[in-house]
């Protein structure tokens, strides 16, 4: 059964001050200054190795991180932790190379085995293992704490998720450095094969979830969202250990494009939010089956879940649109046409059309409730096929990430 | 479940609806701009697109016929399922989406434009009270104070407002987020622009020319010079196309081939492309790092000329055309072989010349065979398991791929590697065999000798297949073992030589069969067969050893080492493969002159600008629609009629509406209302 919309709206508790319309405080000013200082120092130190567009991207990134720090104060601690961890990793590696030169695959492996901290924490493989363990711990922590109504447990879940996300990004920077240490000509940003984007999926989804958790001041959806992250991590581990997927290989010519570096992450903001929406859809349906809103609610009210579902699909749709356009621009440079009806492109279009229909139904026809929850779950099915199924079952020009 | 919400935006100033029957035009417009049609179109396009990803598009017609059978082939072909995305019906659906979106914009434009401009100053108390968000507040302030305060609060909340005094009451009408409405136009007009741009770049014009008989599809695989003019397109015949061309190094081209249905048409270009050089760079692990074509492009009707190095992801723009590095292939590499005979007088060789894409006919035992050289690979890097069990990349060296067309017309595909490849300490010449096109490739391992050559193996094969040599060796063996009459030992040697040659020519099991036959022929009792068979095999083995040692002696080898032992065993493994190898000769690549060709993609897409423009509109529009909220708030101030001592002097009615029925607005409205209450005015709005 569903509640008439009027009632759903009445039942809505406004978010308790969380994040909405936050004032720009002194700490935000300091943070912004810090970010731009870091960008400036990096530019002064490394401008010999940077193209003008790297410098632009660096400053845009500094601006984005500053902005996030303002609208989402926790992210400051997060970025600081990632920054420190990554610097430690890079610093440890620098003791094994002269002038940052490449040392080759076997010397890299030897360095990792030789140094206790690299071996157990700051090499990309070690960081990815920490990430996996922390995320896998967070999942049952959230779920059990929701079941037994333990606020403390939920907080622990949040902390585990933050910590896992810190290691996820340390993985990123460590691996980025490692590609150059193996061979300067290999060096690339690790967003280019199925293994790498799986890590990215987990981290992006977790961070987006943490944002909504703060914004809606409710941790009980964590268990649901972490379930899909856990599932993807189990796949990641299988892929890592049985297929040697974490082995660093250089980029083939088609992937040597800066469009890729922005196209892929943009896509994964879309995938992450669509995954969150679907998991909230599941929570919504479960709650509705169990009698809907009541005085002893564990989960947020149906209206709030519905609202988060809409918010995340809207955010995802916007980014997925950009990602598809960036993909078209990349295709125009690499293959000679911005649209070739290649299976991956076509499935991206299907995903996009599906969510466009979802949004129109909600917006112009006012559809809410369990139907939309089911639809967002189906949407994730379509998205998963576009992300994985196409690589497994269909041939095409998208050569990265074959199984 | 679906629910309809009450619309609360349009309450005041509702657009007038003419009573009575709608005209046909109006009905059609309503249908075209209806959300139901739009959703249906989105779903139909999705489903049609799915079909196109599961049936591989634009393959060879025969493959489809084999895959689907004649009936389904005919059905699918009629529905154009082998080329969905340029099928007429698919394009018609896309056009429908275009029209639907356009009528939607057309229908909504007046309302939305009014929304942006209009403050709704005519809102009546009754209708304001019908809003979901409304509150009543009483105050003792003067009218001026209230007006000032209310306008200040609204301004701080981001609203623009207008004041209207009307009989005995004051209305402040405010709105914000007009950008949301502009976002709607950007999104939907952007989509229309993208579809139009895409249509300009599509194959539609070409298909139209073909349907009108202005151009004919060529299906034969022939040189450009032989393609009839009816299959060639003038430079300006169509505004947009995507074609490709392969040009060997040192050669030039001035056309592009556009694939159409089961053939192609030739697009003439207003310039010619000279290819000086094509290079592939590799990473240290053998993976390709870059493809580069050194080319000069020169216009025909001007002296414009550009020399550049084309790379993947770095196309050249020239005279409104785009030229891409898209593929590469062999440009007719010249090849030289030692052709070793495997049958008849096996082990002898002669030189054979050839080139990739060439055919070479030869006669063998009065039958004619054709060698069709299809490809050459300079590098063959393959992952193998290294000594430590870890994956390693290894280069197998140059290889040549060719078909051997048998007198029966069937062809066997071979891939022969030029250099010996090492496995577990020994080296082999590899020849991959694929008896039928979709069979798995199987390898013949021919052991290489100490000098890394095939000669020892071939000489050994020659000895084994040369009757006189084998008989001599067998006779020696017999004479050493038993002293009988010369006649008897001659006969024994003969029958041993028969067995050895059966082994060398027909393989091990053929040899066993012939042993079996002779046992029966000689009436040996069944109990003794095993022993007799074993001793025959041992005799053959000794002859093979002696033959091998003779070969080594010819080469003046002084010491018989483990290497020689292993070579011998490998050779005995390799020889029985000959009868199933399928070719009477083994082609060993001895020399080559590598000539590559570069595959260029050449396009002209005047619609691209519009697609990008539309994309930018779409993106900006989407963000404006999602993150700018179109909201109205009204503050109606009325003097308190029964204003007796101590009663507040004014009543304020505040009402609000949000175009989205999302929950966000509650928060904002509550804050505005709370701030309007005189005793709470010190709290900041945000
Ligand atoms: C694939 C094609 C289309 C795309 C990508 C698209 C995109 C969008 C987006 C992103 C929104 C905003 C949704 C939200 O804020 O939740 C929207 C709203 C809307 N669309 Fe579309 N649209 C498409 C086709 C159509 C068509 C064909 C129609 C006409 C029937 C239509 C009518 C509307 C209307 C009436 C709104 C609501 C505007 C408002 O009140 O703010 N759209 N569209």
ipTM confidence: 0.91
Q: Do B151 and B7 share a structural domain? A: yes
Banded pLDDT at A402 (limits 50, 70, 90) = very low
pLDDT in tens, B324-337: 998 898 888 999 99
Q: Do B229 and B154 share a structural domain? A: no
Q: Do B141 and B278 share a structural domain? A: no
Q: Distance from the CA of B618 to the center of ligand 1, in angstroms?
A: 11
Give the domain-ending residue among B589, B613, B641. Answer: B589
Contact between A253 and A189 (Cβ < 8 Å)? no
Q: Do B35 and B173 share a structural domain? A: yes
pLDDT value for B347: 84
Residues 309..338 of A with a Cβ closer than 8 Å to B: which? 310, 314-315, 317-318, 321-322, 325, 328-329, 332-338
Residue B602 CA to residue B609 CA, distance in Å, equals 17
Residue B447 CA to residue B571 CA, distance in Å, equals 6
- DSSP code per residue over B584-606: SEEEEEEEEE--EEEEEEEEE-T
Closest-CA residue, ligand 1 atom 4, reads A356
Q: Do B639 and B572 share a structural domain? A: no
Banded pLDDT at B649 (limits 50, 70, 90) = confident
CA-based nearest distance B623→chain A, Å? 7
pLDDT value for A314: 96
Structural domain includes residue B435: no
B42 neighbourhood in chain A, CB within 8 Å: 353-354, 356-357
pLDDT value for B363: 86
CA-based nearest distance B53→chain A, Å? 5
| pLDDT score of A397 more than 70 | no
CA-based nearest distance B685→chain A, Å? 10
Banded pLDDT at B679 (limits 50, 70, 90) = low
- Write the residue in B53, B326, B618 that is nearest to A394 by C-beta: B53
Closest-CA residue, ligand 1 atom 37, reads A364
Q: Does A25 touch chain B (CB under 8 A)?
A: no
3-state SS of B251-262? CEEEEEEEEECC
Banded pLDDT at B422 (limits 50, 70, 90) = confident
| pLDDT score of A4 more than 50 | no
Residues written for chain B: 686
Structural domain includes residue B436: no
Give the domain-ending residue among B557, B589, B621. Answer: B589
Residue B244 CA to residue B255 CA, distance in Å, equals 8
CA-based nearest distance A160→chain B, Å? 30
Structural domain includes residue B418: no
Helix, strand or coil, per DSSP, at residue A177? helix
Give the number of beta-carbon pairs within 8 Å between A and B: 160
Average pLDDT over residues B182-201: 95
Closest-CA residue, ligand 1 atom 34, reads A364
A390 neighbourhood in chain B, CB within 8 Å: 53
pLDDT value for A235: 93
Structural domain includes residue B276: yes
Q: Distance from the CA of B188 to the center of ligand 1, in angstroms?
A: 7
Q: Do B296 and B174 share a structural domain? A: no
pLDDT in tens, A272-290: 999 999 999 999 999 999 8
Q: Do B236 and B167 share a structural domain? A: no
| Residue percentage of chain B with pLDDT more than 70 | 93
Q: Do B252 and B109 share a structural domain? A: no
Write phi, then psi, for B443 (nearest 5 degrees): -110, 140
Structural domain includes residue B301: yes
Q: Distance from the CA of A360 to the center of ligand 1, in angstroms?
A: 6
Residue A85 CA to residue A166 CA, distance in Å, equals 8
Whether ligand 1 lies within 6 angstroms of the CB of A357 is answered as no
Query: Which of the two residues, A153 and A48, has the higher pLDDT score?
Result: A153
Whether ligand 1 lies within 6 angstroms of the CB of B293 is answered as no
Give the domain-ending residue among B589, B617, B649. Answer: B589
| Residue percentage of chain A with pLDDT more than 90 | 68
| pLDDT score of B267 more than 90 | yes
Whether ligand 1 lies within 6 angstroms of the CB of B191 is answered as yes
CA-based nearest distance A137→chain B, Å? 32
Residue B518 CA to residue B528 CA, distance in Å, equals 13
Banded pLDDT at B662 (limits 50, 70, 90) = low
Nearest CA in chain A to B46: A350
- Write the residue in A23, A339, A366 that is nearest to B4 by C-beta: A366
pLDDT value for A401: 42
pLDDT value for B5: 39
Q: Ligand 1 test: best mutation among A363, A372, A376, most atoms within 8 Å of CB?
A: A363
CA-based nearest distance B666→chain A, Å? 7
pTM of the model: 0.82
Structural domain includes residue B56: yes
Does the distance separating the beta carbons of A249 and B601 come in below 8 Å?
no
Structural domain includes residue B403: no
Closest-CA residue, ligand 1 atom 19, reads A360
Nearest CA in chain B to A245: B391
Structural domain includes residue B413: no
Banded pLDDT at B510 (limits 50, 70, 90) = confident
Half-sphere exposure of B380 (CA within 13 A, CB side): 19
- Structural domains of chain B, count: 3
Provide the domain limits for residue B243. 204-331+596-605
Q: Distance from the CA of A275 to the center of ligand 1, in angstroms?
A: 22
- Write the residue in A322, A337, A346 that is nearest to B242 by C-beta: A337
Q: Choose the most confident range, by mean pLDDT, from A101-105, B399-403, B670-674.
A: B399-403
Average pLDDT over residues A228-240: 95
Give the sheet arrangement for strand B334-341, strand by strand.
B349-355, B334-341, B585-593
- Tokens (6 digits) for B219: 């299906």
Categorise residue B636: left if φ over 0, alpha if ψ from -120 to 50, beta otherwise. Answer: beta
pLDDT in tens, B171-181: 999 999 889 99
Q: Do B246 and B214 share a structural domain? A: yes
Banded pLDDT at B10 (limits 50, 70, 90) = very low
Residue B309 CA to residue B330 CA, distance in Å, equals 19
Q: Do B285 and B270 share a structural domain? A: yes
Q: Distance from the CA of B35 to the center of ligand 1, in angstroms?
A: 9
Average pLDDT for chain B = 86
Q: Does A241 touch chain B (CB under 8 A)?
A: no
Spell out where A27-86 has E strands. none
Q: Do B282 and B218 share a structural domain? A: yes
Does the distance separating the beta carbons of A360 and B284 come in below 8 Å?
no
Whether ligand 1 lies within 6 angstroms of the CB of B371 is answered as no
Average pLDDT over residues A241-254: 88
Q: Do B540 and B488 share a structural domain? A: yes
Residue B672 CA to residue B668 CA, distance in Å, equals 6
Residue A210 CA to residue A214 CA, distance in Å, equals 6
């Amino acid at each position: 059964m569903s509640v008439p919309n009027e009632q759903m709206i009445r039942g809505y508790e406004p978010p308790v001050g969380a994040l909405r319309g936050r004032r720009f405080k002194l700490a935000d000013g300091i943070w912004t200054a810090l970010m731009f200082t870091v960008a400036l120092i990096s530019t002064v130190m490394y401008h010999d190795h940077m193209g003008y567009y790297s410098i632009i991207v660096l400053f845009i990134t500094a601006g984005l991180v500053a902005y996030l720090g303002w609208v989402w104060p926790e992210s400051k601690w997060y970025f600081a932790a990632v920054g420190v961890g990554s610097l430690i990793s890079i610093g440890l590696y620098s003791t094994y190379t002269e002038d940052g030169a490449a040392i080759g695959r076997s010397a890299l492996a030897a360095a990792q085995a030789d140094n206790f901290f690299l071996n157990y924490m700051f090499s990309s493989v070690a960081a990815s293992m920490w990430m996996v363990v922390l995320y896998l711990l967070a999942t049952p922590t959230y779920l059990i704490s929701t079941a037994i109504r333990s606020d403390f447990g939920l907080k622990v879940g949040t902390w585990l998720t933050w910590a896992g996300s810190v290691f996820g990004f340390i993985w990123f920077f460590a691996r980025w450095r490692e590609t150059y240490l193996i061979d300067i000509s290999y060096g690339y940003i690790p967003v280019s094969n199925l293994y790498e984007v799986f890590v990215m999926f987990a981290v992006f989804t977790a961070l987006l979830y943490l944002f909504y958790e703060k914004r809606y001041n409710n941790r009980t959806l964590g268990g649901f969202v972490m379930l899909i992250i856990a599932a993807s991590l189990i796949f990641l581990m299988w892929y890592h250990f049985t297929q040697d997927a974490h082995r660093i290989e250089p980029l083939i010519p088609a992937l040597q494009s800066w469009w890729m570096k922005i196209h892929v992450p943009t896509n994964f903001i879309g995938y992450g939010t669509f995954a969150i929406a679907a998991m909230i859809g599941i929570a919504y349906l479960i709650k509705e089956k169990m009698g809907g809103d009541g005085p002893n609610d564990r989960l947020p009210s149906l209206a709030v879940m519905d609202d988060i579902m809409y918010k995340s699909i809207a955010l995802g749709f916007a980014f997925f649109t950009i990602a598809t356009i960036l993909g078209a621009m990349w295709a125009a440079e690499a293959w000679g046409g911005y649209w070739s009806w290649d299976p991956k492109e076509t499935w991206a279009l299907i995903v996009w059309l599906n969510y466009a229909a979802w949004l129109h139904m909600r917006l112009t026809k006012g559809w809410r409730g369990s139907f939309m929850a089911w639809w967002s779950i189906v949407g994730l099915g379509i998205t998963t096929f576009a992300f994985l199924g196409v690589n497994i079952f269909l041939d095409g020009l998208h050569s990265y990430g074959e199984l | 479940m679906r629910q309809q919400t009450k619309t609360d935006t349009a309450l005041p100033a509702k657009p007038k609806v003419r009573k009575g029957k709608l005209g046909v035009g109006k009905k059609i417009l309503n249908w075209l701009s209806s959300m139901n049609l739009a959703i249906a179109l989105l779903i139909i396009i999705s489903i049609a697109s799915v079909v196109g990803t599961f049936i591989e598009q634009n393959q060879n017609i025969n493959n489809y016929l084999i895959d689907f059978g004649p009936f389904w082939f005919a059905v699918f072909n009629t529905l154009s399922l082998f080329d969905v995305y340029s099928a007429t019906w698919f394009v018609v659906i896309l056009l429908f989406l275009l029209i639907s979106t356009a009528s939607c914009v057309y229908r909504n434009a007046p309302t939305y434009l009014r929304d942006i401009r209009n403050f709704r100053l005519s809102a009546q108390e009754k209708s304001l009270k019908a809003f979901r968000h409304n509150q009543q507040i009483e105050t003792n302030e003067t009218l001026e104070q209230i007006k000032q305060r209310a306008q200040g609060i609204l301004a701080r909340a981001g609203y623009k407002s207008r004041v209207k005094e009307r009989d005995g009451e004051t209305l402040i009408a405010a709105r914000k987020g007009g950008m949301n409405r502009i976002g709607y136009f950007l999104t939907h007009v952007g989509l229309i622009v993208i579809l139009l741009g895409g249509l300009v770049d599509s194959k539609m014009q070409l298909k139209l020319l073909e349907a009108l008989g202005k151009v004919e599809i060529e299906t034969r695989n022939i040189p450009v010079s032989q393609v009839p003019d009816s299959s060639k397109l003038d430079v300006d015949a169509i505004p947009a196309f995507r074609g490709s061309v392969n040009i060997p190094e040192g050669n030039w081209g001035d056309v592009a081939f556009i694939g159409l249905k089961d053939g192609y048409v030739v697009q003439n270009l207003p310039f010619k492309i000279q290819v000086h050089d094509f290079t592939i760079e590799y990473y240290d692990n053998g993976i390709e790092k870059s493809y580069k074509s050194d080319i000069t492009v020169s216009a025909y009707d001007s002296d414009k000329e550009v020399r550049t190095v084309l790379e993947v992801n770095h196309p050249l723009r020239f005279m409104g055309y785009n030229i891409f590095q898209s593929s590469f292939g062999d440009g007719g590499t010249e090849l030289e072989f030692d052709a070793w005979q495997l049958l008849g007088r096996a082990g002898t060789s002669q030189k054979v010349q050839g080139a990739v894409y060439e055919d070479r006919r030869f006669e063998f035992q009065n039958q004619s065979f054709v060698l069709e050289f299809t490809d050459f690979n300079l590098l063959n890097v393959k992952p193998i398991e290294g000594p430590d069990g870890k994956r390693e990349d290894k280069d197998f060296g140059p290889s040549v791929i060719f078909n051997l067309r048998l007198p029966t017309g069937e062809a066997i595909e071979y891939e022969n590697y030029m250099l010996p490849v090492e496995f577990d300490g020994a080296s082999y010449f590899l020849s991959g065999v694929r008896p039928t096109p979709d069979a798995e490739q199987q390898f013949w391992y021919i052991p290489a000798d100490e000098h890394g050559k095939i000669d020892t193996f071939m000489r050994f094969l020659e000895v084994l297949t040369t009757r006189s040599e084998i008989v001599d060796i067998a006779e020696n063996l017999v004479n050493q073992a038993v002293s009988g009459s010369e006649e008897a030992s001659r006969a024994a040697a003969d029958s041993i030589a028969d067995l050895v040659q059966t082994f060398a020519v027909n393989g091990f099991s053929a040899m066993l069969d012939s042993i079996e036959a002779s046992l029966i022929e000689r009436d040996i009792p069944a109990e003794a067969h095993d022993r007799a068979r074993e001793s025959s095999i041992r005799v053959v083995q000794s002859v093979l050893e002696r033959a091998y040692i003779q070969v080594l002696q010819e080469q003046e080898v002084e010491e018989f080492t483990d290497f020689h032992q292993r070579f011998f065993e490998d050779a005995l493994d390799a020889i029985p493969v000959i009868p199933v190898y399928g070719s009477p000769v083994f082609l060993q690549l001895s020399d080559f002159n590598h000539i590559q060709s570069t595959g260029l993609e050449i396009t002209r897409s005047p619609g691209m600008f519009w697609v990008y423009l539309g994309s930018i509109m779409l993106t900006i529009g989407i963000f404006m629609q999602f993150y700018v909220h179109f909201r109205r708030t009204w503050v109606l101030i009325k003097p308190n009629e029964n204003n007796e001592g101590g009663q507040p002097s004014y009543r304020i009615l505040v009402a609000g509406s949000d175009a989205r029925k999302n929950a966000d607005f509650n928060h904002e409205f509550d804050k505005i209302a709370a701030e309007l209450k005189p005793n709470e005015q010190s709290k900041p709005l945000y």
